[in-house]
Chains A and B, each alone.
Chain A
Amino acid sequence: MSTPLLELRELATHFPVRGGVLLRATGTNRAVDGVSLSVQRGETLGLVGESGCGKSTLGKTVVRLLQPTSGSILFEGQDISNLSRRRLKPLRRELQMVFQDPAESLNSRHTVGNLIEEPLIIHGVGTAAERAARVRELLDLVGLPASAAEKFPFEFSGGQRQRISIARAIALGPKLLVCDEPVSALDVSIQSQILNLFLDLQAELGLAYLFIAHDLAVVRHVSDSIAVMYLGRIMEYADTDDLMDRPRHPYTQALITAIPVPDPTRRSTRTILSGDVPSPIDPPSGCPFHTRCPHAEARCRNERPLLREAARKGSTPHLVACHFDF
């Protein structure tokens, strides 16, 4: 098999927890704690999990907005986990990120045209005229009129602002886009427009996505495979259809049944999980899910299950971090 576009090996990103008047480090937040995953060219890996599970931290680490504590990030086979800022710069062309709240990621003192052109200038791409043409092309690609270039971000709706941040993120022709909850802040009628845009761009430009969201129905729709994260670790990974049809981890099973189904004739039967996600600062011993797992046994409290291959579909293994088979 060819080298994956992105490969994470035992990746960890920890944050020091400071307390007391002197703000001394009093503990460690193991936000991402040993994640191994890969993304193939032109494909989408979905990442789901409850809030605080480390999804955004993982996304930011992949694009090196955060420095990993340990493990490695291989991009096209090259380890980028320790590259200096200067050596990272050329990689920014290949690796971009789109955030949940487009209002925050767009500097509103600049026109939309300037915002989209900025990455081109930073990377010394083209002449002024060529860049202006590229801006028009990008606006067209994300479904905005050329006249948008002269306006300011605040003159646009949430959905349009998300189109602007996508145009900016794809300006340099990246191979991988890390999307962190890119449609969560949008209304349903706008959400479907933006999801279609992501699908179109992938078909046209061969983009790969690491697509982070908490809405499993949305993630299922766009992803080729899905990883389920809990307390900084991967609980399950599989081909999308495989994961949805035959979830094997009790956490995934609970997540799937918790989605309210928009069909009143099908009131679902669900396992309602008790409690909330425990703190990643003091995670449970053994299996991180044991405090909420309906199947937990003594072994689960003592021994951490490894991510093991439970099945396989084509070249995609179905990985599960649970001692048992459900």
Chain B
Amino acid sequence: MPQRTLLEVRGLVTAFDTEGGRVRAVDRVDFSLERGRTLGIVGESGCGKSVTALSIMRLLPQPMGQIVAGTIRFEGTDLVSADQPTLHRIRGGRIGMIFQEPMTALNPVHRIGRQIAESLILHKGIERRAALERAVGMLERVGIPAPELRLSEYPHQLSGGMRQRVMIAIALACDPALLIADEPTTALDVTVQAQILELIAKLRSETGMGVMLITHDLGVIAEQCDDVVVMYAGRVAEQAPVKDLFARPLHPYTRGLLDSIPHLETPRKSRLPTIAGMVPTLKDLPDGCRFNNRCPHADDRCRREQPLLSRAGDGHLVACHHWQRIAGEVRT
């Protein structure tokens, strides 16, 4: 029986060498993802979602980006210490990836068919004709009408939604065990987003793959994910099963995020709750808890000591010194 845990990230630290010195974009991040489940990663711009994904795929911009500590166990292999041939085999083979802007990931001068087939030739060792036939099947599976005709088209001839479908076809061509999707629908309209998210959910249940879905949209998280990791300034603030996170958010940041989005039930034109201030930059992170300059509960301990993730329930982890007290407080 295969292990249930598909991906396990432990103590991941990823740093960038910048003109102003070394900054830790991801700092001691822990989480794990089980087969057949969707893990959402949510947080504001710059909190380290994409850097975490790039670290897992070992696609950090070189030479600035470096993993300086931690392990990333995927199907028994530590991706942090894996050599290049192993990484080539895994990437696009066992791990499929889709990004926000498919235009940057697709090769503009190659036909769609060739791009899907290439991945099959590389990872499955099948020959060109068979690979092209499989490509037609993949395009059909991701809901592209007249797939035979699309094979010979170029990416720019497709709409944004169609391009994202092609990206998904490429990512899934080799039956990966893990799909990493970094803001796959952020550039799309809500109606097309609904199509793409439904497609990813359908393919997940057909294949039993695990999905790591990065988004800043809490609605997408609520609808698509089984588990959620909330990141803030390069760290995990809270991790929980999705229902638990929405029903019983414990971290003040998670609470602030959930409260600040207008819902369809929020009284119209009422002032929305806000999180004071803004996200600190990596160069001027506060000491202690990174949220302390925006947190209504911050005290001296918070300004001194960094909170570690602690267990607050079944699968529910929170990095806050005062979560127990906060849990008892009624949200307004």
Chain A residues close to B by CB (< 8 Å): 50-51, 157-160, 187-193, 195-196, 199-200, 214, 216-218, 220-223, 240-241, 244, 254-255, 258-265, 267-268, 270, 272-274, 276-277
Contact = CB atoms under 8 A, between A and B. Distances in A.
B217 A255 contact: no
Majority SS of interface residues in chain A? helix
Contacts of A223: 268
B304 to A, nearest CB: 25
Contact of A192 (B197, B246, B273, B279): B273
Interface in B239-282: 242-243, 246-247, 256-258, 260-264, 266, 268-269, 271-275, 278-279
Given A199-B269, A221-B266, A265-B243, A258 B260 contact: no
Contact of A188 (B161, B162, B261): B261
B216 A261 contact: no
A197 to B, nearest CB: 10
Contacts of A190: 278
The 8 tightest CB contacts between A and B, nearest first, are: A260-B219, A192-B260, A192-B272, A221-B262, A189-B275, A187-B44, A50-B189, A258-B190
B62 interface: no
A270 B217 CA distance: 18
A258 B261 CA distance: 17
B218 interface: yes
Given A50-B191, A187-B216, A272-B194, A262 B222 contact: yes
B223 interface: yes
B208 interface: no
15 contacts: A159-B278, A188-B218, A189-B260, A189-B279, A192-B272, A192-B275, A217-B264, A258-B194, A262-B219, A262-B222, A262-B258, A263-B263, A265-B243, A265-B246, A274-B195
A255 B190 contact: yes
A286 to B, nearest CB: 20
Interface in B187-214: 189-195, 197-198
Given A192-B273, A262-B263, 9 more contacts: A189-B44, A189-B257, A189-B275, A258-B194, A260-B190, A261-B264, A262-B219, A270-B194, A274-B195
Contacts of B246: 262-265
A200 B271 CA distance: 8
A114 B162 CA distance: 45
Contacts of A159: 278
A200 B269 CA distance: 10
B324 to A, nearest CB: 24
B161 A276 contact: yes
A258 B191 contact: yes
A111 B266 CA distance: 38
Given A188-B216, A189-B274, A258-B193, A217 B261 contact: yes
Given A265-B243, A276-B161, A199 B222 contact: no
A196 B260 CA distance: 11
B3 interface: no
A196 B274 contact: yes
A195 B262 contact: yes
A191 B219 contact: no
Contacts of A264: 222-223, 242-243, 246
B191 A273 contact: yes
Contacts of B263: 217, 262-263
B220 interface: yes
Most buried by A among B160, B242, B243, B269: B269
B117 interface: no
A123 B40 CA distance: 51
A223 B269 CA distance: 8
Contacts of B217: 260
Contacts of A244: 264
A214 B190 contact: yes
Contact of B191 (A196, A241, A254): A254
A276 B160 contact: yes
B271 A199 contact: yes
Nearest to A256: B264
Contacts of B223: 260-261, 264, 267-268
Contacts of B195: 272-274
Contacts of B157: none
The winner among A193, A240, A267 for most chain B CB atoms within 10 A is A193
Contact of A193 (B194, B258, B274): B274
A218 B190 CA distance: 13
Contact of B256 (A189, A196, A214): A189
Nearest to A274: B195
Nearest to A50: B189
Listed residue (B45, B160, B246, B262) with the most chain A CB atoms within 10 angstroms of its CB: B262
B51 interface: no
Contacts of B190: 50, 214, 216, 255, 258-260
Nearest to B262: A221
Contact of B222 (A160, A254, A260): A260
A164 to B, nearest CB: 14
B221 interface: yes
Contacts of B194: 258, 260, 270, 272-273
Contacts of A265: 243, 246-247
A254 B266 CA distance: 21
Contact of A240 (B218, B242, B268): B268
